[in-house]
Amino acid sequence: MTSFRSLFVTLLSTIFTLTILFHYGKLAIHSERYASYPTNPHLFNQGDLYRAGKILDRDGNILAQTINGKREFNSSETIRRATVHTVGDLEGNVATGVHSVYFNELTGYNFVDGVYDSDNSGNDITLTIDTDMCTTAYKALGGYKGTVGVMNWKTGEILCMVSTPTFDPYYTDQADKDAENGVYVNRLLSGQYAPGSTFKVVTALSGIENFSNLDDKYTCKNGVTIGGEWVSCMGNHGSETMQSGLTHSCNSTFAQIGVKLGGNTLLRTAEGLGFNKKVNLGKITCAKSIVNLTNIKDIDLGWASMGQHDDLINPFHYLTVMSAIANDGVLKEPVLVKKVSTPKGTTLKKEGGSDKRLIAKEDAKTLSDMMRKVVTDYYSDSGFSGLETCGKTGTAEVGEDKRPHSWFVGFCRNESKPYAFVVIVENGGMGAGIAKTIASRVLNS
Amino acid sequence: MSTVYTLYLGISRIAMPILIASLLFLWIIIFKKSKRKNEALAFMQPEFGENYGEIFSRESLVGKSHRCEVRLEKSPHKCHALITLEKDGFFVEPLNGKVAVNDEPIYDKTPISVGDFITFNKEMYRLCLPEEEDEPCKVCKGTGFMLLIFTLFQVLLCGQVYLSPNMESGYIFPASIGGMILIEWIYYIVLRVKNGHAKMFIEIPTAFLLSLGLTICYSCTPEEYVKQLVCIGVGIVGAFILRSILSGLSAVTALRYVVAVIALGLLGVNLIFGTTVYGSRNWLDLGFVSFQPSEVVKVAYIFFGGVVLSKKELSKMGIFIFLVFSALCMGTIAIMRDFGAVAIFFVTMVVLLMMRHAPLWITGGITGLAAVSAVGVITFLPYVADRFAAWTKVWQYADSLGYQQTRTIIACASGGLFGVGAGNGYLKNITAADTDLVFGIVSEEFGGIISFAMAMCFVLFAVYAVDVSKRCRSSYYAGTACAAAGMLLFQTALNIFGSVDILPLTGVTIPFVSNGGTSIISGLCILAFFKAAEVESKLPETIRRRYY
Ligand SMILES: [Zn+2]
């Protein structure tokens, strides 16, 4: 009875304690979001991030830094525009930008120590990107919307990451007007595109993995009938092997290969390459690549096998797939942040370093040789001399009255230029054309 | 920032939370060790049967009601009679039923002694004493160690404030903290000499809260620092005065209506002549000093509520008088638009009603009524509705209605677990931050560990009050101690959770920490209820002297 009297006070104390713990729990989970709110006077001055370290490219060129309490970007407008999607703006418009995602590293903020920092300067971040390559890609893209990504398949380092349309981080109020065109979207990391013929590489790999004989013939008469419905091809290729079908980008061939493999087999290969799975670049969360191949009709499987149906590819993910093919099937963990270091130079953190096998070594070699033949036999090596380029182009239809997206993906086998690349030009038109030209300019820079 | 300061801050910002965490840890350990079991003062041994009545408190009810210490089976009355223990020994007083002592019928309060036969209606009992003497109070070791840890904390705090480039480096802060340390140790030594042991379960947390409050005051409004010190002094003196009044129940009973009239008078004057600050008309400006009458009334409310709900009056008009008084207090304060204070009074009322065994239907009915009127207030008063509009979605109104809350949350995140150092925060620059947003200021400058400890101090008060109330010989002290704890805790909850958007922002203060003279004085006075209950929880000297 005596304890019943004071029950109410005990109850109050319990609720109080639980609620205060709830407050701290919430704080621990969202601390970074709260601290990075632009009115936090510890880190921001009238909305401008001022207490943050430098962001440097691989050669030590400064992309962003704080001078006298003000955040400054590179002095060249071209460099600012070419790197803004990687570096990020100060208002968090580019959600995948280093300024947003690596906020803790840059400002030295963490939940335990708060904003406390004895020298009040944050930490420096050195990126793996090559500013020259980025500006070349930005210029090569011209007025087109699109993206260029280049990755070193030996080390996993991202060398070039450009997305257009772009903006000048000094003038975000102008860019705001362009926001609906996706000016704030890093197309390489956050984009999802219909892959067009570039998906034939995945179907070919599945064939390599599952067929005992790669010399089987497939017929093409401006197309082929699958399950009673017509799949059209751009050419009348007659009889094709997998290799020649890839070289000529024959739809009939790959529709038949896909059906022969079956949806589940093709899906197994695709998922082995990372389709339908989370894609991360360091701390940055990227969009997924998506294929739907279970329980579909043969005709849809046929279309899906050559990248039409409802396949969607994230360009950065496809860049990792190209890297794995180039590197004997092993994917080096992609790296954008080379290191985080104090202003005095002590390294606090390095990213990357892990390996992951996506493809068996012999299969990767076979596929690589096939892609090499695509370049030598069909497009010729002009523009890529000495690089030993392997690749596949693609054309993705995007609607009745619009020019299709133009793709070029692949890698250089030359050990001195171990680059995997992805180039997408929105509404760039048919086939190799524009995407291939851009790739050639970037790889030769 | 000088190198000395950087180095000092780097060390002290880690050391201070560790000291305070170990302080709270010690508090709990010592508290657990010093817990004593509840010994009966006396027994009522029945003539027939095994139905012993154990008398724990200074006033024990006899009757058939379940809340009676001595339960009668054959009496028709819920509250048949009252047995009290006063300075001169035990007394019995008939309330509703017939009572006889040694077969002599009695009609008034009559002294009884051990061995007497008391008849309630037809049931006869004999007053007996427990056979063994109660075990000597365990010496509470460790209080000195606790105080030592706390002193270290204060010294470190002093250094942080003195060296900080963002605060005035005068001698007044070190001097006042030094004075506090001196007083703490003198107090401790006096207790040791007088009682052979020292219990400071209430005093040390209070001193911790006051130190935080002083630091915030010194960094936000240095011009009010001296005023704050004076108020603390007045509060301590007030607490001692109240404590000595509380030491005799007869004085409390005599003063109850005086206190009630003063309280209502103050509120009335406030209603007519009050000044409006931040939307609430709860300030009274006397020209030379301005204060918040509602703060003073808090003390009076507990004081009065405790008496009128005493067991003796419960059988009469106690509940009715108490409810009328509560309604008058809350009504006036509601008219002054201080709805936070109304909520605090309400919670205190519920605690008191529960502590005094008011029938559940009364408590339940009142709570229901309160809920309905709260909904009405929220719906129909635009000023209150505004505060509810931003509630739980402050980030959408980050620069308007949610300004204070978002800045507080940002400050909490910025402080991390160890803080950025006294005076180095920014939250203090916001209007009224030193009263409404002190939790944020403490979180920002001293970190999450210390701000958590700050909040937990009020839980410790409640734990202490609940424990002491179970052993209290007088239900007056048990009731008022719990009411005081409930009041302090709920007020803190309103402030903290309001500032971090778990509750709507109400603009009440955190006792002892928030800047505000009246709030500190009344807070300190309320502590007298804990200390009074603590003494009352021991076996009374009168019993020892007379019967052993
Ligand atoms: Zn064909």
> Are residues B480 and B303 in contact, defined by beta-carbon separation less than 8 angstroms?
yes
Mean per-residue pLDDT, B466-492: 88
**Dist CA B37 CA A35 (whole Å):** 49
What single DSSP character describes residue B119?
E
Q: State the CATH class of domain B42-128.
A: mainly beta
pLDDT confidence of residue B181: 96
Query: What is the token pair recorded at A323?
Result: 């890297």
CA atoms within 13 Å, Cβ hemisphere of A5: 26
Amino acid at B316: K
CB of A11 less than 8 A from some CB of B: no
> Please, what is the Cα angle at B44 between B39 and B49, to 5 degrees?
120
Q: Which among A2, A94, A91, A93 is positioned nearest to A48, based on CA atoms?
A: A91
User: How confident is the model over A24-33, as a mean pLDDT?
Assistant: 93
Structure tokens at B128: 């007996």
Going from the Cα of A248 to the center of ligand 1, the distance in angstroms, rounded, reads 7
> Do the bridges between strand B280-285 and strand B290-291 make them parallel or antiparallel, or are there none, so unpaired?
antiparallel
Q: What is the pLDDT of residue B67?
A: 74
Sequence-ordered strand ranges (E) for A136-205 = 146-152, 158-164
- B residues 218..277 contacting A (CB < 8 A): none
Q: Where are the domains of chain B?
A: 42-128, 143-533
Interface test with B, best of A1, A4, A11, A13 (most B CBs within 10 A): A13
Distances (CA, A) of B34 to B115, B198, B308, B345, B535: 33, 11, 32, 32, 14
Q: Is A183 helix (H, G, I), strand (E, B) or coil?
A: coil
- Angle (CA) A74-A79-A81 rounded to 5° is 105
What amino acid is encoded at A361 in this protein?
K
**pLDDT tier, A1 (very low <50, low <70, confident <90, very high otherwise):** very low
Q: How far apart are CA A145 and CA A165, in angstroms?
A: 5
| Distance of alpha carbon B522 from alpha carbon A22, whole angstroms | 30
Mean pLDDT on B485-490: 96
In whole angstroms, give the CA distance from residue A23 to residue B398.
Answer: 19
Kindly report, residue by residue over B121-176, the tens digit of the pLDDT: 888 888 887 665 445 455 557 889 999 999 999 999 999 999 988 888 788 999 99
What whole-number distance in Å separates Cα of residue A341 and Cα of residue A71?
A: 18
pLDDT category of residue B64 using cuts at 50, 70 and 90: confident
The number of CA neighbours under 13 Å toward the Cβ of B375 is 5
Any chain B CB within 8 A of the CB of A49? no
Q: How far apart are CA B482 and CA B463, in angstroms?
A: 9
Q: What integer pLDDT is reported at residue A436 of this predicted model?
A: 83
pLDDT band at residue B280, thresholds of 50, 70 and 90?
A: low
Q: Please tell me the predicted confidence (pLDDT) of residue B506.
A: 84
Neighbours of B482 (CB within 10 A): 33
What is the rounded distance in angstroms from the CA atom of residue B317 to the CA atom of residue B249?
Answer: 19
| Chain centroid offset of residue B29 CA | 22
Confidence (pLDDT) at B540: 60
Residue B140 confidence (pLDDT): 58
Q: What is the pLDDT at residue B355?
A: 82
Q: Is B13 on the interface with A (CB under 8 A)?
A: yes
Q: What is the pLDDT of residues A204-244, one digit of tens each?
A: 999 999 988 888 889 998 888 888 888 888 888 888 899 99
**What is the percent of chain A with per-residue pLDDT over 90, rounded to a whole number?**
48
Nearest-CA distance from B289 to chain A in Å? 35
Neighbours of A67 (CB within 10 A): 9
Q: What confidence category does residue A17 fall into, taking pLDDT thresholds of 50, 70 and 90?
A: very high
B98, B124 in Cβ contact below 8 A?
A: no
**Span A43-70, average pLDDT:** 87
What is the CA B416 to chain-centroid distance, rounded?
30
A20 touches chain B (CB under 8 A): yes
Could B414 and A27 be called an inter-chain contact, meaning their C-beta atoms sit closer than 8 Å?
no
Q: Of how many residues is chain A composed?
A: 445
Point out which residues pair with B290 in neighbouring strands.
B285
Interface touch B417/A113, C-beta < 8 Å: yes
What pLDDT score does B542 carry?
57
Q: Cα separation of B148 and B153, whole Å? A: 9
Which stretch of A151-155, A423-427, B182-186, B277-281 has the lowest confidence by average pLDDT? B277-281
Which residue is listed with tokens 């009915």?
B365
Which strands, in side-by-side order, build the sheet including A337-341?
A70-73, A62-67, A55-56, A124-127, A337-341, A347-350
The pLDDT tens digits for A309-326 are 888 999 999 999 999 999
Least-confidence region, from A306-320, B5-19, B471-485 = B471-485
Which residue shows structure tokens 């002297």? B545
Q: Find the largest Cα–Cα distance for chain B.
A: 86
Instruction: Kindly report which listed range (A404-413, B68-77, B100-109, B488-497) carries the lowest average pLDDT score.
Output: B68-77
Q: What is the mean pLDDT of residues A362-379?
A: 89
What is the share, in percent, of chain B residues with pLDDT greater than 70? 91
- Terminal-residue alpha carbon distance, chain A: 86
CB-CB neighbours of A443 under 10 Å:
24
Task: Say if CB A164 and CB A175 are below 8 A apart.
Answer: no
CB–CB of A112 and B357 under 8 A? no
Kindly tell me if the per-residue pLDDT of B289 is higher than 70.
no
Residue A307 has pLDDT above 90, yes or no: no
Q: Backbone phi, then psi, for A395, in 5-degree steps?
A: -130, 120
Tally Cβ neighbours within 10 Å of residue A143.
6
Q: Which homologous superfamily is A196-337+355-443 in?
A: DD-peptidase/beta-lactamase superfamily (3.40.710.10)
Res. B543 pLDDT band, cuts 50 70 90: low
8-state DSSP, B165: T
State the Cα torsion B418-B424-B427-B432 to the nearest 10°. 120
d(CA A407, CA A144): 13
- Enumerate the β-bridge partners of residue B124: B119
Top mean pLDDT of A265-269, B304-308, B376-380 is at A265-269
Confidence of residue B311 (pLDDT cuts 50, 70, 90): low
The whole-angstrom separation of Cα A237 and Cα A221 is: 6
CB contact at 8 A, B292 and B286: no
**pLDDT at A181 (0 to 100):** 82
Residues sharing a CB contact under 8 Å with residue B506, sequence separation 6 or more, in sequence order: B339, B340, B343, B387, B494, B495, B498
Q: Are A234 and A252 in contact (CB under 8 A)?
A: no
The residues that bridge with B294 in the sheet, in sequence order, are none
Mutate to test the interface with B, among A3, A6, A50, A112 (most CBs of B within 10 A): A6
Residue A252 has pLDDT above 50, yes or no: yes
pLDDT value of residue B497? 95
Residue A382 has pLDDT above 80, yes or no: no
Rounded distance between C-alpha atoms, residue A212 and residue A214, angstroms: 7
Q: State whether residue A133 is helix, strand or coil.
A: helix
Look at A343 and A322; give whichever has higher pLDDT.
A322
| Predicted TM-score (pTM) of this structure | 0.81
Model confidence over A136-167: pLDDT tens digits? 999 998 889 999 999 999 999 999 999 989 99
Which one of B60, B61, B412, B454 makes the best mutation probe of the A interface by having the most chain A beta carbons within 10 Å?
B412
- Is B430 part of the contact surface with chain A (CB cutoff 8 Å)? no
Q: Check pLDDT > 70 for residue B493.
A: yes
Question: ipTM of the predicted structure?
Answer: 0.88
Q: Which residues pair with A225 in a beta bridge?
A: A230
* pLDDT interval class at B287 (50, 70, 90): low
Instruction: Check residue A412 and give its pLDDT.
Output: 92
The CA distance from A413 to A430, in Å, is 26
